[in-house]
Amino acid sequence: MVRESESGLPIEPVYGPAALAGWRPDAALGEPGAYPYTRGVYPTMYTGRPWTMRQYAGFGTARESNARYRRLIEHGTTGLSVAFDLPTQMGHDSDTPIAAGEVGRVGVAIDSVDDMEVLFGGIPLGSVSTSMTINAPAALLLLMYQLVGEQQGVTGSQLSGTVQNDVLKEYIARGTYIYPPQPSLRLTADIFRYCRAEIPRWNTISISGYHMAEAGASPAQEIAFTLANGIAYVRTALAAGMDVDDFAPRLSFFFVARTTLLEEVAKFRAARRIWARVMREEFGARNPKSQMLRFHTQTAGVQLTAQQPEVNLARVTVQGLAAVLGGTQSLHTNSFDEAIALPTEKAARLALRTQQVLAHETDVTATVDPFAGSYAVESLTDAVEEAVRALMARVEDLGGAVAAIERGFQKGEIERNAYRIAQETDAGARVVVGVNRFRTDEEEPYEPLRVDPAIEAQQAERLERLRAHRNRQAVTAALGALRKAAEGPDNVLYPMREALRARATSGEVCDALREVWGTYVPTDAF
């Protein structure tokens, strides 16, 4: 019986030479570090040095998160990845009524530059790489980071890291959008221009399929809709007068790694190949770095279970191995207790140790692209590529990513796939260990990490003190300059930076832009 992959593609019981009939290794593969980058974006990959080991963390107050970051660095983390709470993600201050009950819950609360200064206290920003998972208010958090760097004596040219800044996927899968698509894309282009001039080593966007996968997208949907969004961002920058080779080398991507190891490896290889060809053939990119699909990977949180949570250690190991064999540039491994609550410190350390075992106790770093030429993986890579291209063509037929989003196409496709997965799980056709098979009568007690509810009051007090001691006239003038820039063609990041320097809060800055651009109201699915 032929099994199907997560994308609904057939997986044969046996693959042989016939599976690659007519296949040309020179065209499909090339060499590692060479077009079309199927085998990886760098010639030596992990034989030179392993991937960047990031741990995604952030909870409660900036002070609590700072303590966690410093311990992670002590344990060997080579890059920080910041999680922000929902009010911060939505551009609301912690003391607004809409933020009630959410302050510090799923990430750290950041209301002003003062909070950001505490968050990175004692962490040298000139020597650490930081990824910030923030989208609609991405410009604010990036500028706060730059201002904290200045306080440390670190110039913009010394800062390195990534800001997610992928608002299109928010309309598809997550919902933490603020403004309508067109002004959101304008803000993205402003970030591209600003960083090229002020923070040249910064990755200005991490175009994300991870959240679509967590919402139920298949591997083919994850790649197709992510690359379609990437094309929309490229077109936006070009329309703003930028040259493709001026900004494309700083584009990066963010994908999930599932437990279906073979298809995941094939997915990453196909994604690199498609993006390289799109950038060279459609956009005329000549700089090889503009053609490279560089990506961060996070293991699949949606596949973790609250039942028998220790089993998640095995899941995360397989997922992490899939990411490494697929050629990721950086990796976050989820903690085994994340299906229950925020990770405990021990669980976060174990997640990091999983990466360290893969890097130092296995032989996967000894050779570049171990699956190259595999009948099964090469055949799956071709099949995934074909499925991805077909979905991308449907998006183009609807007028591109933004037009398709406005019609609810991507959201509808993902929801249908998520429903299929749920049906298969409920029926037992899809086995989830510990959930619908191999269950235990009793679960061992587990004490999760809990966020202190007093954090909300503490943040409100900090905001009250901030507003009492800042120069109110300077804040008002700076917010006025920001609104004026938003009404016209000027880059909004420069007046935004001055407003934040004057100690305007994140909510005040976002409200100023809401007054000009409005807010987004979603449409029904396609």
What pLDDT, in 10s, does the model give residues 70-107? 988 888 877 788 989 999 999 999 999 999 999 998 89
Position 497: which residue type? Answer: R
DSSP 342: B
**What pLDDT, on the 0 to 100 scale, is given for residue 1?**
57
| 3-state secondary structure at position 160 | strand
pLDDT at 2 over 80: no
Q: How far apart are CA 389 and CA 141, in angstroms?
A: 35
**What pLDDT, on the 0 to 100 scale, is given for residue 75?**
83
Q: 3-427 has which fold?
A: TIM Barrel (3.20.20)
Structural element, H or E, at residue 341: none
Q: How far apart are CA 159 and CA 124, in angstroms?
A: 10
Structural element, H or E, at residue 56: strand 52-57
**What pLDDT, on the 0 to 100 scale, is given for residue 121?**
95
Judge contact between 415 and 406, C-beta under 8 A: no
φ and ψ at residue 272, rounded to 5 degrees? -60, -45
Domain segments of the chain as ranges: 3-427
Q: Over 421-459, what HEC string results?
A: HHHHHHHCCCCCECCCECCCCCCCCCCCECCCCCHHHHH
Q: Over 293-355, what HEC string results?
A: CCEEEEECHHHCCCCCCCHHHHHHHHHHHHHHHCCCCEEECCCCCCCCCECCHHHHHHHHHHH
Q: How far apart are CA 387 and CA 276, in angstroms?
A: 17
Per-residue b or e along 424-440, where b marks 16 or more CB atoms closer than 10 Å to that residue's CB: eeeeeebebbbebeeee
Please classify residue 304 by burial: count the beta carbons closer than 10 Å to its beta carbon, then call 0-12 exposed, 13-18 middle and 19+ buried: buried
Structural element, H or E, at residue 4: strand 3-4
**What pLDDT, on the 0 to 100 scale, is given for residue 526?**
52
Q: How far apart are CA 20 and CA 317, in angstroms?
A: 30
**What pLDDT, on the 0 to 100 scale, is given for residue 525?**
53
Q: pLDDT tens, 285-329?
A: 999 999 999 999 999 999 999 999 999 999 999 999 999 999 999
Q: pLDDT tens, 442-501?
A: 877 777 767 778 889 999 999 999 999 999 999 999 999 999 999 999 999 999 999 999
pLDDT at 403 over 60: yes
**What pLDDT, on the 0 to 100 scale, is given for residue 356?**
96
Q: pLDDT tens, 219-238?
A: 999 999 999 999 999 999 99
Per-residue b or e along 488-497, where b marks 16 or more CB atoms closer than 10 Å to that residue's CB: eeebbbbbbb
Q: pLDDT tens, 131-159?
A: 999 999 999 999 999 999 999 999 999 99
Q: Which residues pair with 53 in a beta bridge?
A: 331
**What pLDDT, on the 0 to 100 scale, is given for residue 55?**
74
Q: Which residues pair with 161 in a beta bridge?
A: 130, 202
**What pLDDT, on the 0 to 100 scale, is given for residue 446?**
73
- Only one residue has tokens 């990721």, namely 328
Confidence class for position 57, pLDDT limits 50, 70, 90: low
Residue whose C-alpha is closest to residue 186's, from 230, 237, 146? 237
Confidence class for position 20, pLDDT limits 50, 70, 90: confident
Q: pLDDT tens, 332-385?
A: 999 999 999 878 889 989 999 999 999 999 999 999 999 999 999 999 999 999
